[in-house]
Amino acid sequence: MGVGERNLKLTIAYDGTRFVGWQRQNNGPTIQGELEDKISLMTDCKTVLCGAGRTDAGVHALGMVANFKTDSSIPCDGFQKWLNSLLPDDIRVLEIEEVAADFHARISARGKFYQYRMALGGVSVPTERLYRLQLPGNLDLQAVASCLNELPGEHDFSSFEAIGSRDLSYEGGRGAIRRIFSAELKICANDPRYIDIEISGDGFLRYMVRNIVGTLIEIGRGRWAVEQFALLFAARDRAMAGPTAPAHGLFLKEVFY
């Protein structure tokens, strides 16, 4: 690991379709792996990237953040252009800036903003199939919006956490408690069958957004009453909530610092 004098912060967008996730692993291509390999090549020094979090296989990002230490003297602008020229076209570095030595993409993060995209009513658009969940029926959007109103504030999200995946040290020892800043339903102005669920918060458990969305879909379809949603928090039981919504509808839009 090259620990040099400069601390560089990267803002990254990617199409998660063909990746097994952000985090470097041996079972397939990863965004972290692609970036580390190319940066190591450029700096002639084995580089480890620190990401703001991990996105799972198939999840997309419009504003992922990562940082790394380097003694390379390449200016940020030139570094960005060169790096993009080496990267595959489904990963783009949007910005590189030099930050204080103590900036840490994960620990310094104050929050994240996720968007989950859906198309309702049997809309079938091949050019959206990799970036928006297409649901055959309609949803009771009033019910979905009512549930989203329950989200802001601090809650124990055990019911929405991927089973067996808790890693207390990773998220600061708070267990499953997270603070949601905002949770909104956006209906697309051009086509009201396109809806986006937008959630920002100070941290997210693994699969948390997708488990919330999967539960909202069940409620929107009328399988459960709206009141059930609030009860899920109290239950702290993953088995009570809905299924995990597919990865391809989820976008990490921004990381706040």
- Please report, as ranges, the residues that interact with a copy of itself according to CB under 8 A: 13-15, 60, 62, 84, 89-92, 94, 124-127, 129-131, 189-190, 251
Closest CB to a copy of itself among 17 and 146? 17
Looking at the chain, which runs of residues are DSSP E strands? 6-14, 50-51, 60-70, 91-99, 111-119, 133-134, 153-156, 177-187, 194-201, 250-256
Closest CB to a copy of itself among 130 and 145? 130
Q: Is 102 a catalytic residue?
A: no
Rg of the Cα trace of the chain? 19
**Shortest distance, position 59 Cβ to a copy of itself, whole Å:** 11
**Shortest distance, position 93 Cβ to a copy of itself, whole Å:** 9
**Shortest distance, position 228 Cβ to a copy of itself, whole Å:** 32
**Shortest distance, position 16 Cβ to a copy of itself, whole Å:** 8
- Concatenated DSSP letters of 75-139: -HHHHHHHHHHHS-TTEEEEEEEEE-TT--TTTT--EEEEEEEEE-TT---GGGTTTSEE-SS--
Alpha-carbon gap, residue 11 to 95, rounded angstroms: 5
Closest CB to a copy of itself among 233 and 251? 251
Residue closest to 209 by CA, chosen among 115, 143, 105: 115
Query: Given 15, 37, 56, 77, which residue is catalytic?
Result: 56
Closest CB to a copy of itself among 94 and 240? 94
Six-digit token string for 181:
């800043």
Residues with a known catalytic role? 56
